[in-house]
Amino acid sequence: MSGRDVLIRARDVGKTFRRGGEEIEVLRGLSLEIGSGDFLALMGPSGSGKSTFLNLLGGLDKPTAGAIEVGGHRIDRMADRELARWRARHVGFVFQFYNLLPVLTAERNVELPLLLTGLSGAGRKKQVATALSLVGLADRARHYPRQLSGGQEQRVGIARAIATDPTFLLCDEPTGDLDRKSADEILDLLHELNTRQGKTIVMVTHDPQAAARANRVLHLDKGALVAEAAA
């Protein structure tokens, strides 16, 4: 981690789901540390546990075993309400299929997570403008998703993720639904957020070209860490 302070610690993390009378072990004994300002890519075959681990880091789910500590706080021990507040303040999510509301303009989509912060209307407007400017879409603020390209929609998704100035970003296949040119533009943007804004990023991807943009690459297979290499 090149001397960076550790932001995230996962220790012996396991996750088991029940399907009927069957138990399915998705993660087993996974331990790793992620430094503040790191850009980490998680790779592995479908079903290897990548997205499940991302959900655990973001507080969308809790591990069956082990501990997850972020910024010195054990998020696996938090009650649901406390976890929801923590998530709203500290985590920005970027999804493969954007998850934009089609009836809202770009600026209104970006504003959504800010509605949970208690900011005034003027404060929200300022942060929305800043986020859209950072992703290069200040001139598309009043456009609806249907009026944007796929790459622009993903930029709106990233603007929404950074609008609250979160501690870290979790990106689940952020380029998976894009053509190569648009994907490269999104990866350039993530790289800029990491290097210029200092954002910690954890990205799940199947794309070796996307993984190559990260500082570190972790490989998961059958719920376990199997290799690590410099990107």
Give me the pLDDT at residue 192, please.
94
Percent helix, strand and coil across the chain, each rounded to 5? Answer: 35, 30, 35
- Digit-coded pLDDT (tens) for 145-186: 999 999 999 999 999 999 999 999 999 999 988 999 999 999
**Rounded Cα–Cα distance for residues 155 and 14 (Å):** 33
In the predicted model, is pLDDT for residue 2 greater than 50? no
- Digit-coded pLDDT (tens) for 114-140: 998 888 999 999 999 999 999 999 999
All residues at 6 or more sequence positions from 169 whose CB lies less than 8 Å from its CB, including other chains = 91, 92, 93, 94, 161, 162, 190, 193, 199, 200, 201, 202
**Rounded Cα–Cα distance for residues 39 and 7 (Å):** 12
Q: What pTM did the predictor assign? A: 0.91
Exposed/middle/buried for 16, CB within 10 Å: 0-12, 13-18, 19+? middle
Q: Name the helix (H) or strand (E) containing 125.
A: helix 121-134
Give me the pLDDT at residue 3, please.
47
Q: Which two tokens stand for residue 84?
A: 């929801």
For the chain, domains (ranges, CATH) are 37-60+88-217+224-230 (3.40.50.300)
Percent of the chain surpassing pLDDT 70: 96
- Partner residues linked to 6 by β-bridges: 35
**17-21, 40-44, 47-51, 71-75: least confidently modelled range:** 17-21
Question: The tokens 């998704």 sit on which residue?
Answer: 157
In the predicted model, is pLDDT for residue 13 greater than 90? yes
- Digit-coded pLDDT (tens) for 206-223: 999 999 999 999 999 988
